[in-house]
Structure 1
Amino acid sequence: MIETRFAPSLIGRQRHLDRTREWVTTLATGRGRAVLVEGEPGIGKSSLMRAVADEAKAASCQVFWASCDELSQAFPLLPLLDALESAPVASGPAEIAELLRAESAPGNGVDQVAAATERLLDLVDELCATAPVLLVVDDLQWADPATVQTLGRLARALHQLPLLVAGVMRPVPIREDLKALSRLVAPADRQRLHSLSEAEVARLVENAAGGKPGPRLLRLAAGAAGNPLYVIELVDALARGGALTVEGGLVEATGTRTPGSLAAAIADRVEFLSAPGRGLLRAAALLGVDFSVSELAMVSGQSVGELMPVLDEAILAGVLRENDFALAFRHPLIRAALYEEMPAAVRAAWHRDAARALADGGAPAERVARQLLPAFQRDDAPGVADEWMVRWLVDTGQRLVARAPGAAIPLLRRAVAAIPAGVAPHDLLACRLADALYRAGEPAGAADVANSALDYVTRPDYLVDLHWTLAQCRAMEGRAAESLTALERALSLPGIEPRHRSRLQVLSARTHCMLGRLDAAERLADAALASATAVGERWATGWALGVLTIVRGMRGEVAEALPLFDQALSVAEGHPGLADLRLVLQINQAAALSNLDRHDAAIRAAEQVRQLADEAGNVVRLGQAQTVLGELLFAVGRWDDALSEVDLVSRVSKDPAAECLDQGVAARIRLHRGDASAGHHLAEAQSEAERLGDVVIGAYTLARSLEREQADRPAEALAVLMDALVASAEEVEQMAELLADAARLAVSLGDGKAAREILTQAESVVLAGAPHREAITPHCRGLVDRDPDLLLTAAERYSVAGRPLPQAQALEAAGAVLAERGDLAGARTHFTSAYGIYSDLGADWDLARTQAKFRSYGIRRGPHARHRRADSGWGSLTPTEMKVAGLVAEGMSNPQIAAHLFLSRRTVQTHVSHILAKLQLHSRTEIAREASRRGAGFDQAS
C-alpha cells in the first residue's frame, strides 16, 4: 500500500494510485499490458511511476527504467540499452551495444539498428521468462524512432508476455509515431494527470512546510497553478531564505523574496550550492538527465575523487539523485534550467570541448556525437569543419553511420559542405553521407548526394560504393532501370582497373536480373566472372557466381544451378565481405531444392539460413529466408505454418519483392479459406508490387486472379494470368506456377485461343526430376482435351512432388470429366479424394465450390471423407502449435523455443498468438495451466 504521507508529490493522486495498483496486481499474475501516463512538466508523472515501481519490486517483479532527453533523439535504442544494462541475462545490452557500434560498409546487408532491435526483443522475452517485468520509459516525447518502434513491437506482444510497458510523456510535442503507439493502449490504461485542487495544494504545502499553512503562504502557493513540483520548490526556496515563520500555530511566509516561476524556484535551489558545485552541475547538464560519473570526470577534467564532495553536496541539496549505477538530476526541469541559463555560444563551445574530451577518453562514437550535434546545430557555430571534427569523422564516421545515421547526417553535411570537392576527405565523407541517408530511410536524398558525388569522384572504390548506394535507392523506389545508364557510364571511364570494373559489372548484372532481363544479366555476370578471376578479385567472383545462380533459377535450369551454388559458397567461405552473399546463396539454394521437389532438404536449408541470418543481424536476409520458407510451407500444404511465417503482426524488414510474395502467399491462403482478411493482404501486396514495376510475383498474381474469380469475374481472372505469362516468358519457374490455373479458366470460358497458347507454354516448362513440372503438361492438356487419364497422371505426379493443392485441383477436374461422361462411381472416388485434401488444407472456398459442382451431377460427399479440423480448442492446434504449447508449459521463453525448434522468435511469437486465440486464453501462464490439466494426453499429443 502506498502511503501518500511519505510521498508529498503524490498528494491528490489516490485515484491514479488505485488504478496503477491494479496494473501491478495484473502483472504479477502473468498478464501484460501497455499504459501511458501523461501530463505537463512537474505534474508528478515520474513520481507516480516510481511508486508503481516500488510496488512492482515488492511483488517480485523486475523493474527497468529508461529515461529519454533531447540529446538522445538521434541515437537509436540508447534509452533502452541504458535501462537494461544490469539485466541478469547471459547476452545483455553490452553485446547489443557492440553490435550497434560495429563498422558496416555500404551494401553489406547488415542493418545494425534492426538487428539490435531484434536482440533487445529477445532480451525482454528472456527476462519475462524468469519473472514479470515492468519497463518504464520516462519523457517518451524525446524518444528516438527506433525506441518508439520497439515499444510498439512489445505492445503488440503483451498478450503473451508478463510485461507492463509504461510510457511517461508530456502532451507536446505531438509526433505521429507516438500517436500510433498510443493507439495500442486501451483508453482505461491512459492516465492524464491534472493540476491539484486548492485543497490538495493546501495539503501539499502543509506536508512540505511541516505545519498548517497560513493565508499568505497559501496565496503564494496558489501562484503555482496546482503544479506539485512548483509548490514544493516554492516552499523549499522560502525555507532556505529564512522566509518561513510560525505565527499563531500557522506556518506563514514573510518578506518579499519569493520565486516568481518554477524556473526561478529551481534557480534559487541551485544558487545555494557552492561555486564549484554550480560549475560542475552545468557540465553535468551537457551530458543529459542521466549521466555516468566517469563521463563527468572526462568532461570536467577532474578525477572521480575530486568530484565526490561536490556531487555529495548536490545530492544533499536535492539537485541530483542516485540512479542505479549512475547519477541523475532529480527532475528534468532542474537540468533544463541549468542548461538554458548558459549563453548559447558558450554552450556550443562547451559541447564541442566535451565531445573532444569524451573521444580522447575512449568513449563510444554515439556519446561523442551526442555532444557534437548541439555544438554545431547553430548556423553560426564556430569551427564547423575544424581539423579535429573532420579527422574524427574520417576515423569514426562509418561506425556512427551504422549506429546512428540520423546523428551522422547533419555532421557529415557540414563537413562535406565546408571541404571543397577533390580535397582528400571530401569524397570519402560524401560517400558516407549518401550511405547514412539511405540507412536513415531517405532514398531520395541519398540518391541526390550520390548522383552529385558521381560528377567529381574518381577514386574507384568510392565509385563502387556510390553506385551500390544509388542502385539500392532506385530499387526501393521502383526505378532500378535508371541505375543502368550510370553504371554503363562508369564502366566506360578510362583508367578503371579490372578489379573495380568487375564489381561494377556485377552490380549491373544484379540490376538487369532484378528487372527480369536474364540474357543481359548472364552476359554481364560472365564478363565480371572472367575479369574477376583473372585478377583474383574474390568479392566480384563470388557475386558474379551468385547472379548466375539466380539467372539459372529464374530460367528453370535448376539442375544446372546447383553446382554453381557450391562453387560460389566455396568462394565466399571465410570472407567477411561476402557474408551477405553466403546468406543469399543459401536462401536461393533452398528455393532451388524446392523447385526440384526436394522439400524436406529445402525446408531444412531455409530454416538453417534463417537462423544464420538472425545470428548475423542481417534483417533483410532474415526476411527473405522467412519468405522462401513461407512459400515452401504453402507448397507442401502446411498453410497454418506458412501464415505464421508471413503474419502481419510479426513482420520483419523485407525488400519489396519478398514482401509482395509474402502477402501474396497469405492472400492465397485466406482466399482459398474464404477469409475476409485476404483483402488486406492483397492491398499490402499491391503497394509493394507498384514499387517493383513490371516484375511478376507469382503468388501475388495468382491471388489477384483468384480474387476476381471469386467475385464472379472469370474473364478478368484469366486476363491477369495471361498478362503475367507474357511478362514472365524468360522466367520458367514463375511461368510454371501460373499455367494450370490459366488453363482451367480458359476452358471454363471457352477461350480456345488462350487454351492453345497455354498448352504451348506448358510443354516448354517440363523438367526431368521435378515431378511438379512434369505434371503441368498433362494437367493443362487434360483440362483442354477433357481427358481424365491425363488429369489423374498429373495428380499422381503432384502427389509424388508433395504439392497437395494442385493435386486436389487435378483430382477435382478428373472427377468432373468422369461425371460428364456418366461415370458417377469414378467421379465420386476422385471427388472424395479432392474433398479430403481441401479439408486438410482448410480450404473452405474450394470445398464449397467442389460440393456445388458435384451436387449438380447428383453426387454427395462420400461416407469416408475426412472431417475438417476444429476451429478452436486443443484439437484445432497444428502439430507445430502443439509443440510450442508444450514448451511454453515447460517455462521456455520465445527465444528458447525458437532455438529448440529451429524457428525464429517472431514465428514462435505468432504461434503463441494463434494458440491463445484458438484456446481463448489471455497469457502464457494460462497456457501452462491448461496444459497441466490435460496431463498425459497433452504430453502424448505434443
Structure 2
Amino acid sequence: MAPVSPVFVGRQAETARLHALARQAAGGHGVAVLVEGEPGIGKTSLLDRVATDCAGLGLRLLTGAAEDLEQQLPFSAIANCLGIGAATSDPELARVSGLLRGEQAFTRSLAAANHDFVITEAILDLFDEWFAQGPVALLLDDAQWADPQSLVVAHRLGRGIEQQPMLLVVATRSAPRGGAVDALERSLVARGGHVIELAPLPPDEVAVLAHDLLRTDAGPRLSRLLGTAGGNPMYITELLAELAEEGALADRDGRMELVWDTDELAEGWVPPPLAEVILHRLGFLPPAVRDALQTAAVFGRAVELTELSQVLGRPVAELADVAASAVEAGILTDTGTRLEFRQPLIREALAARVPPSARAALHRRAAQALDADGAGVERIAEHVMAGEGVDDRTTEWLIDVADPLTARAPELAVELLQRALPGAPRRQAARLRLQLIRALLWRGANAEAERLARDAVATGDDPACDGELRWLLAQTCYRRGHLRESLEVIEQALTEPGLSATERGRFHGFAAVCLFFLTRFEEARAAARRAVRAGEATGDARCTGIGDFALAMTLAVDGDLEQALVVNDRAFASLTEGVQPDLQVDPYTLRGMCLLELDRLAEAERALSAAIAANRESGGAYLPIAHTLRARLLFLDGRWDDALVEIETAAELPDLLGSAVRLRGMADLIAVHRGATVDPPAGTGTSYPHHFSRWARALCVESQQGPAAAFELLAPAWDKAHGLEPRRLVYRVCADLARLAVAAGDRDRAGALARDVDALLARRAHPSLAATAKLCHGLAADDAELLLAAAADYREAGWPLYEGNAYENAAEALARQDHPARARRALDKALERYGALDATADAARAEARLRAAGVRRGVRGPRKRPKHGWEALTATEQRVVALVASGLSNPDIAAQMFLSRRTVQSHVSSILGKLELSSRVELAVQAAERGTVQAG
C-alpha cells in the first residue's frame, strides 16, 4: 500500500471563527489570534486553511515560521514571514532587508537595543504602508521558537491592530515555550485578541480522518488502535502510514483492518511516542533520500538545495530529485518560494538520528563551504556555533566579520568571540578582545565590556590597539553613567605618546562632553576648543564637530543662545554623517532647544521634527529628549492635547538619558491646570525628580493649603536652579512664584524675583523673558499697566497660558484700583485663554479672585471644547483626519506633518476615541461624508 497523505478533518468551529475574523480584518477592524496546541494537533494545517481564506478575501498574505536554530538571530521569524532572504530584491523590502543585514549599523546605532528599535520601526512603517493599500494577514507558525525581536514586532502590531485592516495569527505549542511567548499572549489578549486552543479530535472526527486517509472505514481493531493516539491528527496520520508501510492493513468486508495478530496489539496496548513512530516510518526511505534529508534536518526547517550541494558534494540536480521524492512522501512541502519540512516533528526526528559528533562535523563543513561561497555572516556563524571548537581559520574569519556579525546577531557574536578568545595566539587575541568589547557594548553589557577593556588596557598586548581600546573603555564608562571614570580614562589616554593628533582631538572632544554633564563648564569649554583646534589642524571633521557641539552646549547653558546656534550650526556642517553612536552628540536636538528658548517656536518645531527623524533613523539615544522638548513647546504654545500625545510617544522609548521624569512632570502639570490632583512622589520626602513635578504638586497644594505653603514648595525650583538646569532655563516658574508670593502677602519676595529675572534679561532679551520680568515687577508693585504689557509680550512669544495669567493678575489689580470695566475686560481675556486650553483650574481661580474683588465676567466665556464628537478634535487631529481620509499611511502623514509615525498613531487612537469609531476605515468613510478630505 502507498504511503498515506495528510488531510484536514474537523476543526469546523475554529475554521469558521477564523474565517469570520479574517472577514472582519478585511473590513478594516483588525484582530489578533493566538492558536495553541500540542505538537501534531493541527496548528499548521489550520493556518494553511486560514491562508486560503485570506487569499480569497483579498488580503496581502504574509506567512512564515520560526526556527529553533534561529532563536539567536534577531528578527529571523518576522523576516521569514516577510520573505526577506539573502537575495531579496523586492524594492518595498529593500530598507528593512538592508537593516537586517546590518548595513552601516555601527554608523547608526548606539547599541543593539537602538538598532532593534530602528528595525522594528522600519518594519512597522512597512506594514503601515501596506495598510493604506489594503488588508494584510500575517500568519506566524511555531512561535515557541521565535526570536525576541520578532515577538516584539508582533506585540507592537497587536497594540494598534483594532485601527488597521489586519489579521495577525500566531501559532505556538502549548508547552514548553518561553516566557516571551506568554508575554505576547497576555499583550494580545489584553487588547481584545482571541485565543484558540486546539483540543484532541473527538472519536467521530478520528473516524472521519481515518476514512479520508484510507479511502474507506476503519475496522474495529484498527479503530481501537487509533483511539490510543489521543486524537492527535499527525499521530494518527503517521501511525497509519507506518502500518501501511509494514503491510499491516488489509481490506476486510469493505473496511480497512489490522492483519497483525500479535500480543503487542492486544487490548490496552499503547503505541510508541509520536517521534518514534515518525523515526520508524522514515527508516523505509531510500538511503540516498534519507541521508540528504538528515543533513538538511540538522541545518533547519528550510531546505536549501545549494547549501546541501556544497556540504554533501552532490549535484543540485540530484538533490532536486531527492527533494521531489520527499515532497511526494509528505515529508517536505513546497511553499512556492522554498522547500520546508512539513512538520517540525519530522525534522526533529530526522536530526535526532544524526549523532552529535556527526552533527558538529556537518556544521563545520557547512561553515567552510558557505564562507567560500560568500554567504551571509549570520548563517555561517550559526554553523560555527553548532560545531565544536574554533580553529585558526575560523578565528581569522571571526575577526574579519565581527562588526557585521555583531550588528546582525549580537548574541552569536559575543558567544563566538568568547569561545575563540581563550585559545587564540597573542596577535589574534588582541583583535578578538577589541571586537568582543565592541560586541558587548552593542549588546548593552556595559559592565562586562568595561571589565574586559580595563584588563586589555592593563595588559597592553597590542600597542597598535591601545588608542582604540582606551576610546572603548571611555565609552563603556560613559554608557554606565560613570562620567568621572570616563574622564579619568580620557586624561590617561592623553598622556600616552602613541596617540595620533586625530585621536587626541577626539579625546578632547569627548572630554568636553563629559565635563559639560559634570557641570564643569569652563573646563568643558577649554577642552572643546582644543578639539576644534585639533580638527582644524588635522582636517578631521569629527574633531571639529564634537568640539563645536560641546562648545555650543556651554554657550546655551550660559544663556548666550544666539551664539550657541551659530557654533552649533558649525558642528552641523562638520558632522555630515549625522548622529553617530560613538560621539555622543546631537546638534539637531540642541538646535531645537536653542530656538525654543529664543521663542522662535515655529523654527524650533521644525528643528525638533528633524531631530526626531534623525534619531529615529539612526537609533540615537537623544530621541526621547527631542520628543520631550517638542512636548514642552506644545505645552507653551497651548497645544496641550498634542503635548500629551507627544509625551505618550516619548514615554514608550528606550530612556537612556533620563527623560522620563520630565515627561511625567509635564503630564502632571497639564493635568493640574485641567483640574486634576497629583500626589507627591512616593518615598521622596521633600525631594522631587524634576522641577515640573514639584511645580505640579505646588499648584495642588495652593488649593489645599493656601498660597504660602505652595510658594515654599515651589521656591526651591528657582532658588536651587543650577548646573544643567540653570535659572535661564527654569525662569518659567517665576510667573506662578510671584503670584503665590503676592497672594501670601509677601510682595518683597515678588520684588526679589523680579530683580533675579532682570539679571537674566540684562544679558539677552526676548519676548517671554521680558514678559516674565514685567509680570514679576507688576505683581510686586501692583502695577496693572505693567501686567497688561506682560500679557502683550506673552502674546508675542506665543504663550497663551502665561498671557492668561498676566490678564488675570491685571484684572485683580484694576479691580483694586477701582477700574471695574477694564478689570472685567481683562478677566474676559484671561478666561478666553484658559477656555481654549481647557485650563479649568486656572479659570476657576481667576473667577474666584475677581469675584472677591467685586468683578464678574462681562460676557459668557468661550464654550469649552467637548470631549467627544468632531468638535472635540484639535487642529492637529483635524489635519490627521484629512490625510487619513485621503488614503495616506501613517508614515506618509508623519512626513507631511513633521511628526513621527508613533505620534501619528497616537493621534489616530485619540481621534477614534473621540469619535467613538473603531478603525481607520470607518474614520475615512465618515470624514469623506463630511467633506473633510476637500476641507483638508
Instruction: Verify same fold: TM over 0.5.
Output: yes
1:349 aligns with 2:361: yes
The superposition leaves residues 812-834 of structure 1 with CA deviations (integer Å, 9 ceiling, x where unpaired) of 22223333444333322222111
For residue 55 of structure 2, what is the aligned residue in structure 1?
Answer: 57
1:516–1:695 CA contact under 8 A, matched in 2: no
- 1:528 Cα deviation (Å)? 2.5
Mapping for residues 672-821 of structure 1, pairs under 5 Å = 672-674=673-675, 699-700=692-693, 702-703=695-696, 705-706=698-699, 709=702, 712=705, 715=709, 718-719=712-713, 721-723=715-717, 725-728=719-722, 731-750=726-745, 755=750, 758-766=753-761, 767-821=763-817
1:532–1:538 CA contact under 8 A, matched in 2: yes
For residue 668 of structure 2, what is the aligned residue in structure 1?
Answer: 667
Q: 351-360 vs 289-298, which deviates more?
A: 289-298
SS of the residue 2:760 aligns to: coil
Q: 242-251 vs 92-101, which deviates more?
A: 92-101
> Which AA in structure 1 matches 2:368?
R
Q: Partners in 1 of 2:178 and 2:854 — Cα distance?
A: 63
SS of the residue 1:136 aligns to: strand
Q: 752-761 vs 818-827, which deviates more?
A: 752-761
- 1:711 Cα deviation (Å)? 5.9
Q: Among residues 508, 533, 542, which one is paired with 2:511 in the alignment?
A: 508
The superposition leaves residues 616-649 of structure 1 with CA deviations (integer Å, 9 ceiling, x where unpaired) of 4334344443333332222222222222323249
- 1:876 Cα deviation (Å)? 1.4
> Which AA in structure 1 matches 2:861?
A
Q: Partners in 2 of 1:393 and 1:345 — Cα distance?
A: 23
SS of the residue 1:620 aligns to: coil
For residue 3 of structure 1, what is the aligned residue in structure 2?
Answer: none
Consecutive unaligned residues of structure 2, counting only runs of 5 or more, are 266-270
> Which AA in structure 1 matches 2:589?
I
For residue 594 of structure 1, what is the aligned residue in structure 2?
Answer: 596
Q: Partners in 2 of 1:303 and 1:724 — Cα distance?
A: 79
Q: Partners in 2 of 1:175 and 1:485 — Cα distance?
A: 43
- 1:781 Cα deviation (Å)? 2.8
Q: Among residues 922, 927, 930, which one is paired with 2:926 in the alignment?
A: 930
> Which AA in structure 2 matches 1:120?
I
Cα pair distance change 1:674/1:46, threshold 3 Å: farther
1:650–1:910 CA contact under 8 A, matched in 2: no
Q: Among residues 334, 337, 340, which one is paired with 1:325 in the alignment?
A: 337
Q: Partners in 2 of 1:780 and 1:457 — Cα distance?
A: 62
2:250–2:258 CA contact under 8 A, matched in 1: yes
For residue 340 of structure 1, what is the aligned residue in structure 2?
Answer: 352
Q: Indicate the RMSD between aligned Cα atoms, in angstroms.
A: 3.2
Mapping for residues 271-670 of structure 1, pairs under 5 Å = 271-375=283-387, 381=388, 383-384=389-390, 386-419=391-424, 423-457=426-460, 466=469, 474=477, 477-573=480-576, 584-614=586-616, 616-648=617-649, 651-670=652-671
> Which AA in structure 2 matches 1:563?
V
Q: Partners in 1 of 2:930 and 2:443 — Cα distance?
A: 50
Cα pair distance change 1:710/1:293, threshold 3 Å: farther
> Which AA in structure 1 matches 2:532?
L
1:71 aligns with 2:61: no
1:164 aligns with 2:167: yes
- 1:309 Cα deviation (Å)? 0.6
SS of the residue 1:251 aligns to: strand
Q: Partners in 2 of 1:748 and 1:7 — Cα distance?
A: 87
Cα pair distance change 1:852/1:46, threshold 3 Å: farther
Length, aligned pairs only: 915
SS of the residue 1:339 aligns to: helix
Q: Partners in 2 of 1:808 and 1:497 — Cα distance?
A: 59
Cα pair distance change 1:390/1:777, threshold 3 Å: same
- 1:331 Cα deviation (Å)? 0.3
For residue 268 of structure 2, what is the aligned residue in structure 1?
Answer: none
Counting aligned pairs with the same residue, the percent is 35
1:728–1:735 CA contact under 8 A, matched in 2: no
Q: Partners in 2 of 1:926 and 1:580 — Cα distance?
A: 46
- 1:707 Cα deviation (Å)? 5.4
Q: Partners in 1 of 2:606 and 2:291 — Cα distance?
A: 63
> Which AA in structure 1 matches 2:420?
A
- 1:757 Cα deviation (Å)? 5.6
2:545–2:574 CA contact under 8 A, matched in 1: yes
Q: Partners in 2 of 1:497 and 1:873 — Cα distance?
A: 65
SS of the residue 1:223 aligns to: helix
- 1:700 Cα deviation (Å)? 4.9
The superposition leaves residues 858-887 of structure 1 with CA deviations (integer Å, 9 ceiling, x where unpaired) of 433331522222221111112222122122
SS of the residue 1:763 aligns to: helix
SS of the residue 2:171 aligns to: strand
Cα pair distance change 1:717/1:114, threshold 3 Å: farther
Q: Partners in 2 of 1:66 and 1:512 — Cα distance?
A: 51
The superposition leaves residues 96-124 of structure 1 with CA deviations (integer Å, 9 ceiling, x where unpaired) of 12223214448864743222211111111
SS of the residue 1:38 aligns to: strand
Cα pair distance change 1:805/1:266, threshold 3 Å: same
1:66–1:83 CA contact under 8 A, matched in 2: yes
2:510–2:583 CA contact under 8 A, matched in 1: no
1:224 aligns with 2:229: yes
Q: Partners in 1 of 2:161 and 2:344 — Cα distance?
A: 29
Q: 732-741 vs 34-43, which deviates more?
A: 732-741
Q: Partners in 2 of 1:463 and 1:104 — Cα distance?
A: 24
- 1:504 Cα deviation (Å)? 1.9
Q: Partners in 2 of 1:431 and 1:544 — Cα distance?
A: 26
1:269–1:317 CA contact under 8 A, matched in 2: no
Could you state the TM-score of these two structures normalised by the residue count of structure 2?
Answer: 0.91
1:193 aligns with 2:198: yes
Q: Among residues 847, 857, 864, which one is paired with 1:861 in the alignment?
A: 857
Cα pair distance change 1:732/1:172, threshold 3 Å: same
Q: Partners in 2 of 1:474 and 1:750 — Cα distance?
A: 51
Q: Partners in 1 of 2:436 and 2:711 — Cα distance?
A: 47
SS of the residue 2:586 aligns to: helix
- 1:400 Cα deviation (Å)? 1.3
Cα pair distance change 1:107/1:919, threshold 3 Å: closer
- 1:754 Cα deviation (Å)? 5.9
Q: Partners in 1 of 2:459 and 2:824 — Cα distance?
A: 75
1:177 aligns with 2:185: no
Q: Among residues 117, 128, 139, which one is paired with 1:136 in the alignment?
A: 139
Could you state the TM-score of these two structures normalised by the residue count of structure 1?
Answer: 0.90
2:794–2:803 CA contact under 8 A, matched in 1: yes
> Which AA in structure 2 matches 1:247?
R
1:474–1:483 CA contact under 8 A, matched in 2: yes
Q: Partners in 2 of 1:663 and 1:823 — Cα distance?
A: 42
For residue 378 of structure 1, what is the aligned residue in structure 2?
Answer: none
Q: 842-851 vs 749-758, which deviates more?
A: 749-758
2:73–2:408 CA contact under 8 A, matched in 1: yes
Cα pair distance change 1:890/1:812, threshold 3 Å: same
- 1:481 Cα deviation (Å)? 3.5
Q: Partners in 1 of 2:119 and 2:560 — Cα distance?
A: 38
Q: Partners in 1 of 2:394 and 2:714 — Cα distance?
A: 57
For residue 95 of structure 1, what is the aligned residue in structure 2?
Answer: 95
Cα pair distance change 1:624/1:299, threshold 3 Å: farther
Cα pair distance change 1:302/1:791, threshold 3 Å: farther
Cα pair distance change 1:579/1:37, threshold 3 Å: closer
Cα pair distance change 1:314/1:361, threshold 3 Å: same
SS of the residue 1:184 aligns to: helix
SS of the residue 2:168 aligns to: strand
Q: Partners in 1 of 2:859 and 2:216 — Cα distance?
A: 88
Q: 510-519 vs 59-68, which deviates more?
A: 510-519
2:622–2:657 CA contact under 8 A, matched in 1: no
Cα pair distance change 1:281/1:739, threshold 3 Å: same
The superposition leaves residues 433-492 of structure 1 with CA deviations (integer Å, 9 ceiling, x where unpaired) of 233233323333333333333333476885565555555555555443442333333333
Consecutive unaligned residues of structure 1, counting only runs of 5 or more, are 1-5, 376-380
Q: Partners in 1 of 2:368 and 2:579 — Cα distance?
A: 32
